[in-house]
Amino acid sequence: MKKIIITRRLLKESEEKASKTFDAKLNGNDELYSQSKLIELSEGHDAILTSLTDKMDEETISKLPDSIKVISNFAVGFGNIDLEAAKKRGIAVTNTPEVLSDATAEIGILLILGACRRVPEGVQAAKESSWKWSADYLIGKQLTGTRLGILGMGRIGQKIAKIAKSLGMIIHYHNRSKLSDEKEQGAIYHDSIKSLFGVSDVLSICCPATKETENLINKETLEYFPTGAVITNVARGDIVEDEALIDALNRRKIYAAGLDVYKGEPNLNPGYLKIKSVFILPHLGSATKHTRIAMANLAIDNIDEFFKTGNCKNKVN
Ligand code: DGY
Protein backbone atom coordinates (compact mmCIF):
# COMPACT_ATOMS: atom_id res chain seq x y z
CA MET A 1 0.00 0.00 0.00
CA LYS A 2 1.31 3.46 -0.90
CA LYS A 3 1.95 5.79 2.02
CA ILE A 4 0.50 9.29 1.90
CA ILE A 5 0.42 12.37 4.14
CA ILE A 6 -2.81 14.37 4.27
CA THR A 7 -1.83 17.81 5.51
CA ARG A 8 -5.26 19.00 6.73
CA ARG A 9 -8.30 17.35 8.25
CA LEU A 10 -10.83 16.18 5.64
CA LEU A 11 -14.49 15.31 6.12
CA LYS A 12 -14.99 11.92 7.79
CA GLU A 13 -16.20 10.23 4.59
CA SER A 14 -13.05 11.34 2.74
CA GLU A 15 -10.67 10.25 5.49
CA GLU A 16 -12.33 6.81 5.44
CA LYS A 17 -11.82 6.56 1.69
CA ALA A 18 -8.19 7.69 1.98
CA SER A 19 -7.51 5.10 4.69
CA LYS A 20 -9.04 2.33 2.59
CA THR A 21 -7.02 3.29 -0.48
CA PHE A 22 -3.67 4.10 1.16
CA ASP A 23 -1.67 3.87 4.32
CA ALA A 24 -2.74 7.45 5.09
CA LYS A 25 -1.32 9.71 7.78
CA LEU A 26 -4.26 11.91 8.82
CA ASN A 27 -4.11 15.25 10.63
CA GLY A 28 -6.80 14.86 13.28
CA ASN A 29 -6.02 18.19 14.98
CA ASP A 30 -5.99 20.06 11.68
CA GLU A 31 -2.81 21.84 12.79
CA LEU A 32 -1.01 23.82 10.08
CA TYR A 33 2.27 22.00 9.44
CA SER A 34 5.40 24.14 9.33
CA GLN A 35 7.80 23.55 6.46
CA SER A 36 10.17 21.52 8.66
CA LYS A 37 7.36 19.40 10.11
CA LEU A 38 5.96 18.59 6.68
CA ILE A 39 9.40 17.61 5.39
CA GLU A 40 10.01 15.46 8.44
CA LEU A 41 6.60 13.75 8.12
CA SER A 42 7.14 13.12 4.41
CA GLU A 43 10.11 10.78 5.02
CA GLY A 44 9.24 7.33 3.72
CA HIS A 45 5.99 8.53 2.10
CA ASP A 46 4.98 8.38 -1.57
CA ALA A 47 2.59 11.32 -1.90
CA ILE A 48 1.26 14.40 -0.12
CA LEU A 49 -2.35 15.52 -0.30
CA THR A 50 -2.06 19.28 0.21
CA SER A 51 -4.55 22.09 0.75
CA LEU A 52 -4.39 25.68 -0.45
CA THR A 53 -3.01 26.65 2.98
CA ASP A 54 0.20 24.66 2.32
CA LYS A 55 2.89 26.80 0.76
CA MET A 56 4.74 24.36 -1.47
CA ASP A 57 7.39 26.78 -2.67
CA GLU A 58 10.72 25.97 -4.30
CA GLU A 59 12.54 25.65 -0.99
CA THR A 60 9.99 23.26 0.53
CA ILE A 61 9.85 21.13 -2.61
CA SER A 62 13.64 20.98 -2.86
CA LYS A 63 13.78 19.52 0.66
CA LEU A 64 11.16 16.81 0.18
CA PRO A 65 12.47 13.24 0.30
CA ASP A 66 13.01 11.43 -3.03
CA SER A 67 10.19 9.03 -2.15
CA ILE A 68 7.55 11.74 -2.80
CA LYS A 69 6.24 11.32 -6.33
CA VAL A 70 2.91 13.18 -6.21
CA ILE A 71 1.55 16.36 -4.66
CA SER A 72 -2.23 16.18 -4.96
CA ASN A 73 -3.78 19.57 -4.23
CA PHE A 74 -7.23 19.55 -2.66
CA ALA A 75 -8.30 22.52 -4.81
CA VAL A 76 -8.68 23.51 -8.42
CA GLY A 77 -6.24 26.41 -7.91
CA PHE A 78 -2.59 25.51 -7.50
CA GLY A 79 -0.98 28.91 -6.95
CA ASN A 80 0.33 27.56 -3.61
CA ILE A 81 2.61 25.10 -5.43
CA ASP A 82 5.73 25.88 -7.45
CA LEU A 83 5.00 23.69 -10.47
CA GLU A 84 8.42 24.12 -12.04
CA ALA A 85 10.23 23.19 -8.84
CA ALA A 86 8.08 20.06 -8.60
CA LYS A 87 8.75 19.17 -12.22
CA LYS A 88 12.49 19.51 -11.70
CA ARG A 89 12.25 17.00 -8.87
CA GLY A 90 10.09 14.65 -10.94
CA ILE A 91 7.05 15.23 -8.72
CA ALA A 92 3.63 15.23 -10.40
CA VAL A 93 1.20 17.93 -9.22
CA THR A 94 -2.54 17.32 -9.58
CA ASN A 95 -5.65 19.39 -8.87
CA THR A 96 -9.44 18.91 -8.55
CA PRO A 97 -11.16 20.65 -11.48
CA GLU A 98 -14.88 20.53 -12.40
CA VAL A 99 -16.25 19.05 -9.15
CA LEU A 100 -16.29 22.45 -7.43
CA SER A 101 -17.48 24.55 -10.35
CA ASP A 102 -21.18 24.61 -9.35
CA ALA A 103 -20.53 25.51 -5.71
CA THR A 104 -17.97 28.17 -6.63
CA ALA A 105 -20.23 29.67 -9.29
CA GLU A 106 -22.98 29.96 -6.65
CA ILE A 107 -20.63 32.02 -4.49
CA GLY A 108 -19.64 34.03 -7.57
CA ILE A 109 -23.29 34.97 -8.07
CA LEU A 110 -23.74 35.65 -4.37
CA LEU A 111 -20.82 38.11 -4.50
CA ILE A 112 -22.37 39.92 -7.46
CA LEU A 113 -25.76 40.15 -5.75
CA GLY A 114 -24.32 41.00 -2.33
CA ALA A 115 -22.12 43.78 -3.64
CA CYS A 116 -24.69 45.23 -6.08
CA ARG A 117 -27.63 45.10 -3.67
CA ARG A 118 -25.72 46.45 -0.64
CA VAL A 119 -26.17 43.33 1.45
CA PRO A 120 -23.47 44.11 4.10
CA GLU A 121 -25.10 47.47 4.90
CA GLY A 122 -28.55 45.91 4.87
CA VAL A 123 -27.63 43.05 7.21
CA GLN A 124 -26.02 45.41 9.68
CA ALA A 125 -28.97 47.82 9.66
CA ALA A 126 -31.46 44.97 10.10
CA LYS A 127 -29.54 43.52 13.05
CA GLU A 128 -29.33 46.94 14.68
CA SER A 129 -32.98 47.82 13.88
CA SER A 130 -31.43 51.07 12.73
CA TRP A 131 -33.41 51.53 9.54
CA LYS A 132 -36.79 52.62 8.36
CA TRP A 133 -38.31 51.95 4.99
CA SER A 134 -38.25 54.83 2.56
CA ALA A 135 -38.34 55.05 -1.21
CA ASP A 136 -34.65 55.86 -1.47
CA TYR A 137 -33.31 53.69 1.37
CA LEU A 138 -30.30 51.47 0.47
CA ILE A 139 -30.83 51.80 -3.23
CA GLY A 140 -28.57 49.34 -5.02
CA LYS A 141 -27.70 48.33 -8.55
CA GLN A 142 -30.16 46.10 -10.38
CA LEU A 143 -28.63 43.25 -12.36
CA THR A 144 -31.19 43.22 -15.18
CA GLY A 145 -29.63 44.80 -18.25
CA THR A 146 -26.29 45.31 -16.50
CA ARG A 147 -23.09 44.26 -18.29
CA LEU A 148 -21.13 41.51 -16.54
CA GLY A 149 -17.48 41.12 -17.49
CA ILE A 150 -16.02 37.70 -16.81
CA LEU A 151 -12.27 37.51 -16.52
CA GLY A 152 -11.37 33.88 -17.23
CA MET A 153 -14.10 31.91 -18.97
CA GLY A 154 -13.19 28.44 -17.71
CA ARG A 155 -15.67 26.07 -16.12
CA ILE A 156 -16.52 28.41 -13.23
CA GLY A 157 -16.71 31.49 -15.45
CA GLN A 158 -19.05 29.70 -17.85
CA LYS A 159 -21.36 28.63 -15.03
CA ILE A 160 -21.46 32.15 -13.61
CA ALA A 161 -22.21 33.44 -17.12
CA LYS A 162 -25.13 31.03 -17.50
CA ILE A 163 -26.75 31.98 -14.19
CA ALA A 164 -26.07 35.71 -14.67
CA LYS A 165 -27.65 35.55 -18.12
CA SER A 166 -30.79 34.08 -16.61
CA LEU A 167 -30.85 37.10 -14.27
CA GLY A 168 -30.90 39.39 -17.30
CA MET A 169 -27.23 40.39 -17.33
CA ILE A 170 -25.38 40.93 -20.61
CA ILE A 171 -22.26 38.79 -20.64
CA HIS A 172 -18.84 39.91 -21.88
CA TYR A 173 -15.61 37.98 -21.31
CA HIS A 174 -11.88 37.84 -21.76
CA ASN A 175 -10.08 34.54 -21.88
CA ARG A 176 -6.74 33.26 -23.19
CA SER A 177 -8.65 32.19 -26.29
CA LYS A 178 -12.11 32.74 -27.70
CA LEU A 179 -14.56 29.96 -26.84
CA SER A 180 -16.58 27.95 -29.34
CA ASP A 181 -20.08 29.31 -30.05
CA GLU A 182 -21.55 26.46 -28.03
CA LYS A 183 -19.53 27.28 -24.91
CA GLU A 184 -19.85 31.03 -25.42
CA GLN A 185 -23.67 30.93 -25.40
CA GLY A 186 -23.97 34.46 -26.73
CA ALA A 187 -21.31 36.01 -24.47
CA ILE A 188 -19.25 38.73 -26.17
CA TYR A 189 -15.49 38.07 -26.46
CA HIS A 190 -12.87 40.76 -25.82
CA ASP A 191 -9.29 40.14 -26.85
CA SER A 192 -7.82 42.42 -24.16
CA ILE A 193 -8.54 43.18 -20.55
CA LYS A 194 -8.70 46.89 -21.38
CA SER A 195 -11.54 46.27 -23.77
CA LEU A 196 -13.35 43.96 -21.31
CA PHE A 197 -12.98 46.26 -18.32
CA GLY A 198 -14.21 49.20 -20.39
CA VAL A 199 -17.65 47.59 -20.74
CA SER A 200 -17.86 45.90 -17.32
CA ASP A 201 -20.46 47.41 -15.01
CA VAL A 202 -19.69 44.39 -12.86
CA LEU A 203 -16.55 42.24 -13.06
CA SER A 204 -16.32 38.62 -11.94
CA ILE A 205 -12.72 37.45 -11.57
CA CYS A 206 -12.59 33.73 -12.36
CA CYS A 207 -9.09 33.27 -13.78
CA PRO A 208 -6.26 31.28 -12.20
CA ALA A 209 -3.57 33.01 -10.13
CA THR A 210 -0.38 32.94 -12.18
CA LYS A 211 2.64 35.22 -12.60
CA GLU A 212 0.72 36.89 -15.47
CA THR A 213 -2.46 37.55 -13.47
CA GLU A 214 -0.76 38.69 -10.24
CA ASN A 215 -2.02 42.21 -9.39
CA LEU A 216 -3.90 42.39 -12.68
CA ILE A 217 -6.44 44.61 -10.92
CA ASN A 218 -4.26 47.59 -10.09
CA LYS A 219 -4.18 51.39 -10.06
CA GLU A 220 -3.91 51.59 -13.85
CA THR A 221 -6.39 48.88 -14.84
CA LEU A 222 -9.05 50.10 -12.38
CA GLU A 223 -9.21 53.28 -14.43
CA TYR A 224 -10.37 51.26 -17.47
CA PHE A 225 -13.73 50.56 -15.77
CA PRO A 226 -16.83 52.73 -16.09
CA THR A 227 -17.16 54.90 -12.99
CA GLY A 228 -19.34 53.10 -10.46
CA ALA A 229 -18.36 49.57 -11.53
CA VAL A 230 -18.45 46.64 -9.12
CA ILE A 231 -15.49 44.25 -8.73
CA THR A 232 -16.01 40.70 -7.51
CA ASN A 233 -13.41 37.97 -6.99
CA VAL A 234 -14.08 34.26 -6.59
CA ALA A 235 -10.63 33.18 -7.81
CA ARG A 236 -7.56 34.19 -5.81
CA GLY A 237 -6.59 37.27 -3.79
CA ASP A 238 -3.23 37.62 -5.54
CA ILE A 239 -4.99 38.90 -8.67
CA VAL A 240 -6.04 42.12 -6.92
CA GLU A 241 -3.74 44.85 -5.65
CA ASP A 242 -5.65 45.65 -2.47
CA GLU A 243 -4.36 49.19 -1.89
CA ALA A 244 -5.42 50.18 -5.40
CA LEU A 245 -8.91 48.69 -4.99
CA ILE A 246 -9.34 50.26 -1.55
CA ASP A 247 -8.36 53.63 -2.98
CA ALA A 248 -10.77 53.24 -5.93
CA LEU A 249 -13.60 52.29 -3.53
CA ASN A 250 -12.88 55.28 -1.32
CA ARG A 251 -12.91 57.60 -4.36
CA ARG A 252 -16.19 55.97 -5.54
CA LYS A 253 -14.55 55.17 -8.87
CA ILE A 254 -15.56 51.65 -7.86
CA TYR A 255 -19.04 51.41 -6.32
CA ALA A 256 -18.64 48.14 -4.40
CA ALA A 257 -16.54 44.99 -4.12
CA GLY A 258 -17.54 41.38 -3.46
CA LEU A 259 -14.56 39.32 -2.35
CA ASP A 260 -14.52 35.65 -1.40
CA VAL A 261 -10.72 35.62 -1.60
CA TYR A 262 -8.06 38.15 -0.71
CA LYS A 263 -4.32 38.45 -0.22
CA GLY A 264 -2.86 37.14 3.03
CA GLU A 265 -5.98 35.14 4.02
CA PRO A 266 -7.22 35.04 6.72
CA ASN A 267 -5.78 38.49 7.50
CA LEU A 268 -7.82 41.10 5.70
CA ASN A 269 -6.23 44.39 4.68
CA PRO A 270 -7.69 46.77 7.33
CA GLY A 271 -8.41 49.32 4.60
CA TYR A 272 -11.42 47.21 3.57
CA LEU A 273 -12.96 47.29 7.04
CA LYS A 274 -13.90 50.95 6.86
CA ILE A 275 -15.68 50.66 3.53
CA LYS A 276 -19.38 49.89 3.82
CA SER A 277 -19.72 48.68 0.25
CA VAL A 278 -17.32 45.76 0.69
CA PHE A 279 -19.06 42.39 0.81
CA ILE A 280 -16.47 39.99 2.12
CA LEU A 281 -16.54 36.24 2.70
CA PRO A 282 -13.96 33.81 4.16
CA HIS A 283 -13.07 31.77 1.03
CA LEU A 284 -16.32 29.81 0.88
CA GLY A 285 -16.26 29.03 -2.87
CA SER A 286 -16.25 25.25 -2.57
CA ALA A 287 -17.61 25.03 0.98
CA THR A 288 -20.52 22.61 0.68
CA LYS A 289 -20.43 19.05 1.99
CA HIS A 290 -21.19 17.56 -1.41
CA THR A 291 -18.40 19.52 -3.07
CA ARG A 292 -15.76 19.06 -0.38
CA ILE A 293 -16.32 15.28 -0.48
CA ALA A 294 -16.15 15.27 -4.28
CA MET A 295 -12.93 17.31 -4.19
CA ALA A 296 -11.30 15.04 -1.62
CA ASN A 297 -12.37 11.91 -3.51
CA LEU A 298 -10.83 13.31 -6.65
CA ALA A 299 -7.62 14.30 -4.85
CA ILE A 300 -7.37 10.71 -3.53
CA ASP A 301 -8.23 9.20 -6.93
CA ASN A 302 -5.60 11.41 -8.60
CA ILE A 303 -2.87 9.83 -6.44
CA ASP A 304 -4.27 6.35 -7.04
CA GLU A 305 -4.44 6.91 -10.79
CA PHE A 306 -0.88 8.16 -10.85
CA PHE A 307 0.53 5.13 -9.05
CA LYS A 308 -1.56 2.69 -11.08
CA THR A 309 -0.88 4.17 -14.54
CA GLY A 310 2.19 6.39 -14.18
CA ASN A 311 0.09 9.41 -15.17
CA CYS A 312 -3.04 11.33 -14.17
CA LYS A 313 -5.54 13.27 -16.25
CA ASN A 314 -5.55 16.06 -13.66
CA LYS A 315 -1.75 16.50 -13.67
CA VAL A 316 -0.97 20.20 -14.04
CA ASN A 317 2.82 20.26 -14.41
C1 DGY B 1 -10.10 25.98 -5.10
O2 DGY B 1 -10.32 24.77 -5.25
O3 DGY B 1 -9.18 26.52 -5.70
C4 DGY B 1 -10.97 26.70 -4.15
O5 DGY B 1 -10.59 28.00 -3.98
C6 DGY B 1 -10.95 25.96 -2.82
O7 DGY B 1 -11.97 26.41 -2.01
What's the average pLDDT block by block, 10 residues per block, for the chain (317 residues)? 97 97 97 96 98 96 98 96 97 98 98 98 97 97 98 98 98 97 95 98 97 97 98 98 98 98 97 97 98 98 98 97
Residue 315 lies in a domain: no
For the chain, how many structural domains are there in total?
2
| Residue 81 and residue 149 in one domain | no
**Residue 77 alpha carbon, nearest atom of ligand 1:** 3
Residue 231 lies in a domain: yes
**Residue 284 alpha carbon, nearest atom of ligand 1:** 7
Residue 317 lies in a domain: no
pLDDT at 102: 98
| Residue 131 and residue 58 in one domain | no
Residue 314 lies in a domain: no
Residue 149 lies in a domain: yes
| Residue 257 and residue 297 in one domain | no
| Residue 211 and residue 301 in one domain | no
Q: Which residue has the least CA distance to atom 4 on ligand 1?
A: 75
pLDDT at 104: 98
Q: What is the CATH number of the domain that holds 156?
A: 3.40.50.720
| Residue 80 and residue 211 in one domain | no
In DSSP notation, the chain reads: --EEEE-S---HHHHHHHHHHSEEE--TT-PPPPHHHHHHHHTT-SEEEE-TTS-B-HHHHHHS-TT--EEEESSS--TTB-HHHHHHTT-EEE---STTHHHHHHHHHHHHHHHHTTHHHHHHHHHHT-----TTTT-----TT-EEEEE--SHHHHHHHHHHHHTTPEEEEE-SSPPPHHHHTTPEE-SSHHHHHHT-SEEEE-SPP-TTTTT-BSHHHHTTSPTTEEEEESS-GGGB-HHHHHHHHHTTSEEEEEES--TTTTS--GGGTT-TTEEE-SS-TT-SHHHHHHHHHHHHHHHHHHHHHS--TTB--
Range of the domain at 253: 101-280
| Residue 11 and residue 155 in one domain | no
Q: Which residue has the least CA distance to atom 2 on ligand 1?
A: 75
| Residue 105 and residue 248 in one domain | yes
Residues 52, 292 contacting (CB under 8 angstroms)? no
pLDDT at 125: 98
Residue 303 lies in a domain: yes
pLDDT at 131: 97
**Residue 95 alpha carbon, nearest atom of ligand 1:** 2
pLDDT at 91: 98
| Residue 184 and residue 299 in one domain | no
Ligand 1 pocket test, candidate residues 49, 73, 76, 236, most atoms within 8 A of CB: 76
pLDDT at 150: 98
pLDDT at 88: 97
- Residues carrying an active site annotation: 236, 265, 283
Ligand 1 pocket test, candidate residues 8, 100, 107, most atoms within 8 A of CB: 100
